[in-house]
Amino acid sequence: MIIGLTGGIATGKSETAKYFESFGAYNIDADKISREITEVGKPALVELVNALGKSILYTDGTLNRQKLANMIFSNKKIKFKVEKILHSYIISFIYEMISQHKISNSIILVNAPLLFETKLNKICHKTVVIWTPYDVQANRLARRNKLDVYHVKRRIDSQMPVKKKIELADFVIDNSGSKIDLKRSVKNLYKLLTSNIRIE
């Protein structure tokens, strides 16, 4: 069974994925894949440099991810250009990983921030959205990325509205509480998915 996991920035997707993994799911992390395909010498990084210039690199040739993120969240044209380059590589990588693990794992988790935007939800049997109230999400993002209110709002607003994601999802997990609460919610959902739901 393939489960799609998504949510807004700083809502707790990575933590949720770790709990799914601890209960037996195989976790495919789109953000991790994105980092891997943009390492030095990889075709995706070469394409990014060709499109945006060498200013996105550190002096050692590695990708300056913070600078690229700032460019993406401040310019829609650049955001579109970067996504167009990266998404084909990421999606291809995800398909390959699913193919390799679909027999040995009862639950394969596709953990992708842009699950619905990239249509990856189409390959999932069920989809899950992680939700937190806006103020909780904004505070977490500000602390994690050391951002001011203006840049926090820009990053959150650049994504598909969480309300829309909730409308598209099969399940919603509320992550406004503690890590213990989150783990309990994931455990209950995992039990439901593996015990009560049968996918034909």
Q: What is the pLDDT of residues 37-63, one digit of tens each?
A: 999 999 999 999 999 999 999 999 999
Confidence of residue 195 (pLDDT cuts 50, 70, 90): confident
Residues 175, 185: Cα–Cα separation, whole Å: 9
Amino acid 57: pLDDT: 97
Q: List the beta bridge partners of residue 108.
A: 2, 26
**Residue 155 CB contacts under 8 Å (≥ 6 apart), including other chains:** 9, 73, 141, 145, 147
Model pLDDT for residues 128-147, shown as the tens digit of each residue: 999 999 999 999 999 999 99
**Whether residue 187 has pLDDT greater than 80:** yes
Residue 134 belongs to some domain of the structure: yes
Confidence of residue 170 (pLDDT cuts 50, 70, 90): very high
Structure tokens at 125: 């049997």
What letter would DSSP give residue 58? Answer: -
Model pLDDT for residues 56-100, shown as the tens digit of each residue: 999 999 999 999 999 998 899 999 999 999 999 999 999 999 999
Residue 50 belongs to some domain of the structure: yes
**Whether residue 124 has pLDDT greater than 80:** yes
C-beta of residue 172 within 8 angstroms of C-beta of residue 128: yes
Query: What's the mean pLDDT when you consider all of the chain?
Result: 93
What is the CB-side half-sphere exposure of residue 41 using CA atoms within 13 A?
0
Amino acid 196: pLDDT: 53
Amino acid 197: pLDDT: 47
Residue 189 belongs to some domain of the structure: yes
Amino acid 106: pLDDT: 86
Query: Which of 36-40, 118-122, 157-161 bottoms out in mean pLDDT, i.e. has the lowest?
Result: 157-161
Cβ count near 114 (within 10 Å): 16
**Whether residue 199 has pLDDT greater than 50:** no
Domain hosting residue 48, numbered range: 2-195
Residue 113 belongs to some domain of the structure: yes
Residue 55 belongs to some domain of the structure: yes
C-beta of residue 4 within 8 angstroms of C-beta of residue 117: no
Residue 200 belongs to some domain of the structure: no
Residue 150 belongs to some domain of the structure: yes
Number of domains in the chain: 1
List the CATH number of the domain containing 13: 3.40.50.300
β 2-7/126-131 pair status:
parallel
